[in-house]
Structure 1
Amino acid sequence: MCVSRKWRGYTVVLGGVLIHLTLGTIYTFGNMTPYMTSYMKRHNVDVSLNYAESTWISAIAAMGQGMSMFLGGIMYRALGPKLSTLIGAWLASAGVALTYFTIKVSFYWTLFTYGFMFGIGVGIAYATPMGCAMKWLPDKEGLVNGCVVAGFGGGAFIFDQIQTAYINPHNEKPNFDENGEKYFKQDDILDRVPSGFLMLAGCYAAMQFIGAMLLQDPTQQYLPLINSKESPVSEGSLDRNDDGSKEDYVNEERTLTPRETLRQPEFYKLWCMYLFNGQGISFISSLYKAFGQTFITDDYFLAVVGSLAAVCNGAGRIMWGALADRYCFKTAMVFSTGLFSFFILSFELTSLAGKSLYLIWVCCLFLSFSGNFSLLPTATAKAFGKTHYGVNYGMVFTASVISSPISALLTSKLKAVVHWYGMFYMVAFFSFVSMCLAWSFNVKDSKNADI
């Protein structure tokens, strides 16, 4: 039964990875921005649209995700992992499919389908696979979270290449310059943009169905074995008691309802960390390609950069989750935010050094900010318990409802004034503030060590 329990847990993790590979295509927005913006300008949908304004699509998607994640936790408890995840995932896919129509009509309708509708679906489906997997493998919470959300970070590795191969198969260069930004005007490229959304939605929906069918909470026959294997470290204890007395104490100490969680000062530190980290995440994931196009004309190379960055995003989530298990949340988050601050401060230098350094820096930026998505879920579970994890983490994630529009507003209003280097400095400051918050985070286990 031990082997059966372990391997059943691994299949749940696999299901979560498949789901998150599709949800994580939110990171392909940076690759799609030049095609979408060029299409709407070329076909007179919105001739004044520019890349800074296009970031509102990803901002609205992140807002939708933040608004609906707690709802996913509620649906999980009411409907179970399969149905609740599939509802959210297919809602996201429906938003992508409907963009086939909306991108031909209006930028604002595109905001709704590819932004808000997609984001709402992502939020509903996001936390359930992690909460489900942690129940099967409670002794490896950080690693499990890291593996599942590695799919979220790695989705762009697959779909960046698919998007570029479908829309721009001959690696044509942007051939129109406006206010220092480069756009495509080639009809053979732009005519493929709407149908690309139908192709993507079909792929997403199929993967989501398979992944959702693999999700399952532990049945009654597995619960005694799972409880006996539960790692004391993951619940804040360093002792093993055969009579279960320590486990009972820890579970009681670490099981907080959403209302009780809202009364904890450390909840607001986690919330603010996401708020400030979100500025850099939104900015880089949306505009890394637009910045690269200012001195790199090879569209295939930029797609490869996006794919390799996605690998770093996915691998980084596993790495940071494992570091949190090995050391503690505080140490891992301080290093994550500190590294991001360094790389974003020096990002402007890549325009002087060329393609190779640009590739390295983009990958390092994605590697460093990826910690946000495995460390914050792990900290939420360890600090407030797994019983109400879906709702509690959903409340932490509501920071994106504010963070994303702030990022889009600052970008659209300030980029023309402070230019790229000014935006990099501003984002680095936000990351530094988050690093200070992480340093002050103070939740202890029963041995008075940081969780």
Structure 2
Amino acid sequence: MVSNTMMGLLCVGGGTIMHLYLGCFYLWGNIQVYVTSYLHKQDPSVTLDDTSIIFVLQTVAQALCMPIAPVLLRYVPPWLLALIGGVFAIGGVFASSFITNFYAFLFVYPVLFGIGIGFSYMAPIICGWEYFPEWKGTVSGVIVTGFGFGSFIFGFISIAIANPEGLKPDLEVDGGKIFSPETSVASNAPRMIRINCAIWVGLILIAALMMRRMKKGHKDYAPLVSSPTQNREGILNHVSSDHLDMTEEYESKIEIIEPTFMESVKDYRTIYMWIILIFTSSYPFYIASNFKSYEQRDIQDDRFITLVGSLGAVVNGLSRGVWSTLQDFFGFKKVFLFLLVVEVIVAFTFVAIHKIKALYLIWVLISFSTLGGHFSIFATLCAKIYGPTTGGKMFALIFTAFASATLINWILTKQISKGRIEYETLFYILASMAVVGIGKRIHAPSSHFYSISILLQPKDQSPSVYPLCFR
């Protein structure tokens, strides 16, 4: 019989493979110019300014569906949920390659793709937490590493198909430059999309074969604190002597009880995290979705900018494991404060260095790293506050903050196209929002987030629950 550890490693590996195709969520930043050129060829009124809404719609669709996935996991196995998500995501993207109407494309590509990602994203992470409850940060970090590599790999595949000759955008439209209808690039987008989808199908099938949930009889409770060395005796030190006397008297046992979803929603830290994420993730999300269309105004090198975005996607993925592992050792507050300080410095100085290729590359990579940190740090934080099961649901809920951040970015970008603000002003606004995030703290010790209970069960009475919450 295969051990639980081996099954857990297979689950984590399958989740990483699945996140390779889910990571193509960020591929839009690389292929927006190619797809817009194709749609502009069909309808000359379509511009980069119009297609910038696609990244927003992707994020909103994903955010709305992510809370559903943890609920579905109670009734369907993770491999089946992965396949259901794949039908929406891959099916929607593949169907979009046959569409020439811009508004139909708006529904089929970003909405269905986002729905599919929302269904699939948390499934392997939650399963991995069940196998390795003491290493939630590491598990989520390893799995979402695939998310970054996906955009990196398929960014190069996409440019090799859409722009094999390395042509430069030559047609000025609202929002930047695209390829004129006479070029071959303007016709290559459908083929590019279909080849990507064919590879995604193979990835999702392999991943589905590897993901199996831990049997209920073997499920371990997660530790109350972030350090794996603290055991039940350590927990007892935080409990009042009265409760301990009652525990000894009634020969009860101590059991970890996760808060319910509704209890967690009412917890003040939930709205606190949601607000913080809106303020602090807006800048890195802007870079992730607009690095190419923004920079092509000053650097006329499609291959270089594609390389920058692809490397940024890798850093996005790799940094997640780094950030979450640091969080396991140093706690949320210190790690997130460091991330925000780095983000603020980069955001305030971006406009001063973006015309220098080497510095542009470094600044974009750092920006992608802070984006990856937001995902892994808050996914792990939710698991530590609310437990592995409820934590997955809560992260899916606060993920809607990312959708709000992308919507804010889109609104601000529209103000640029209307001539109301300059790009420099936009960056200063986003940097200032991150500064606000530095001043906000979740008011709870980093290592005592769990809600626990002392279960008192006298021999002749039904159990009573006395909730305790360390804050």
When normalised by structure 1's length, the TM-score is 0.90
Distance 1:387 1:181 in 2: 44
Q: For residues 54-108 of structure 1, what are the alpha-carbon distances to aligned partners after superposition, in whole Å with 9 as ceiling and x for unaligned?
A: 2210100100011000111111111121111220122111111011122x12x22
Shift of 1:414: 3.6
Kept in 2: contact 1:34–1:183 (CA 8 A): yes
Greater C-alpha Rg: 2
State the shift of 1:188 in Å: 1.3
| Map of 1:293 onto structure 2 | 296
Question: Does the aligned pair in 2 maintain the 1:312–1:366 contact within 8 Å?
Answer: yes
Asked if 1 retains the 8 angstrom alpha-carbon contact of 2:67 and 2:393, the reply is yes
- The equivalent residue for 2:230 is 239
Partner of 1:70: 67
SS of residue paired to 2:66: helix
Does structure 1 conserve the Cα–Cα contact (< 8 Å) formed by 2:7 and 2:212?
Answer: no
SS of 2:73's partner is helix
1:416-436: CA deviation from partner (whole Å, max 9, x where unpaired): 332221111111122222232
Q: What letter corresponds to residue 285 of structure 2 in structure 1?
A: S
Q: How does 1:211-360 map to 2 (within 5 A)?
A: 211-219=207-215, 222-223=218-219, 226=220, 233-234=225-226, 239-241=230-232, 249=254, 251-252=256-257, 255-352=258-355, 354-360=356-362
| Pair 1:161 & 2:166 matched | no
CA distance in 1, matches of 2:426, 2:45: 22
User: Are 2:76 and 1:79 equivalent residues in the alignment?
Assistant: yes
Alignment of 1:125-204 (within 5 A): 125-178=120-173, 181-185=176-180, 186-204=182-200
In 2, the alpha carbon distance for the partners of 1:367 and 1:275 equals: 17
How many pairs are equivalent?
A: 437
Partner of 1:370: 372
Q: Tell me: CA distance 1:403–1:447, structure 2 relative to 1, closer, same or farther (3 Å).
A: closer
Deviation at 1:292, TM superposition (A): 1.8
Task: Render the CA deviation track for 1:187-230: whole Å, top value 9, x for unaligned.
Answer: 3112111121111111112201211221111125644xx55xx6
Quick one: distance in 2 between partners of 1:399 and 1:220? Answer: 32
1:11-60 CA-to-partner distances (Å, cap 9, x unmatched) read 1111111111111111111101111122222332xx33332332210100
Corresponding letter in the other structure for 2:160:
A
Report the Cα distance in structure 2 between the residues aligned to 1:249 and 1:278, rounded to whole angstroms: 39
Q: Which SS does the other structure have where 1:216 is aligned?
A: coil
Residues 278, 401 of structure 2: 8 Å contact kept: yes
Residues 242/214 of structure 1: CA separation in 2 closer, same or farther (3 Å cut): farther
Aligned-residue RMSD, C-alpha = 2.6
Name the structure 2 match of 1:417.
420
* Matching residue of 2:42: 43
1:291 and 1:244, CA in 2 relative to 1: closer, same or farther beyond 3 A?
closer
2:408 is aligned to 406
- Residue 241 of structure 1 deviates from its aligned partner by 3.8
Tell me the secondary structure at the aligned position of residue 346 of structure 1.
helix
SS in structure 2 opposite 1:387?
helix
Deviations 1:220-255 (A, max 9, x none): 5644xx55xx65533x78632489979975722xx1
5+ residue gaps, structure 1: none
Tell me whether 1:383 sits opposite 2:382 in the alignment: no
Gaps spanning 5+ residues in structure 2: where? 239-252, 451-469
Report the TM-score, using the length of structure 2 for normalisation.
0.86
Q: Which residue is equivalent to 2:439?
A: 436
**Residues 331 and 447 in structure 2, CA contact (< 8 A), matched pair in contact too:** no
2:86 is matched with: 89
After TM superposition, the runs of 4+ consecutive aligned structure 1 residues lying more than 4 A away are 242-250
Q: How far apart in 2 are the matches of 1:417 and 1:282?
A: 21
Find the residue that maps to 2:345 and give its secondary structure: helix
- Structure 1 equivalent of residue 118 of structure 2: 123
Name the CA distance, whole Å, in 2 between partners of 1:160 and 1:74: 33
CA change 1:183–1:394 in 2 (3 A) is same
Give 1:399's aligned amino acid: A
Higher helix share: 1
For structure 1, which segment, 131-140 or 184-193, has the greater mean C-alpha deviation from structure 2 after superposition?
Answer: 184-193
User: Deviation string for 1:95-145 (max 9, x for gaps)?
Assistant: 11011122x12x221111111111111111111111001111111111111
Name the CA distance, whole Å, in 1 between partners of 2:192 and 2:273.
Answer: 37
Query: 1:445: Cα distance to partner?
Result: 3.8
User: In structure 2, what is the Cα distance between the partners aligned to 1:52 and 1:430?
Assistant: 23
Question: In the alignment, does 2:18 pair up with 1:19?
Answer: yes
How many Å apart are 1:290 and its aligned residue?
1.3
Conservation of the 8 A alpha-carbon contact between 1:142 and 1:322? yes
**Does the 8 A contact of 2:343 with 2:434 survive in 1?**
yes
- Which one-letter code corresponds to 2:57 in the other structure? I
Matched position secondary structure for 1:202: helix
Q: Find the residue that maps to 1:364 and give its secondary structure.
A: helix
Is residue 317–residue 374 contact of structure 1 (8 Å, CA) maintained in 2? yes
SS at match of 2:172: strand
Residues in 2 aligned to 1:447 and 1:36: alpha-carbon distance in whole angstroms? 46
Name the SS of the counterpart of 1:233 in structure 2.
coil
Does residue 31 (structure 1) correspond to residue 22 (structure 2)? The answer is no
Aligned counterparts of 1:282 and 1:16: Cα–Cα separation in 2: 23
The one-letter code of the counterpart of 1:240 is: N
Q: Report the secondary structure of 1:295's partner residue.
A: coil
Which one-letter code corresponds to 1:256 in the other structure? Answer: P
What is the CA–CA distance in structure 2 between the aligned matches of 1:6 and 1:53, rounded to whole Å? 49
Aligned mates of 1:243, 1:278 — CA distance in 2: 36
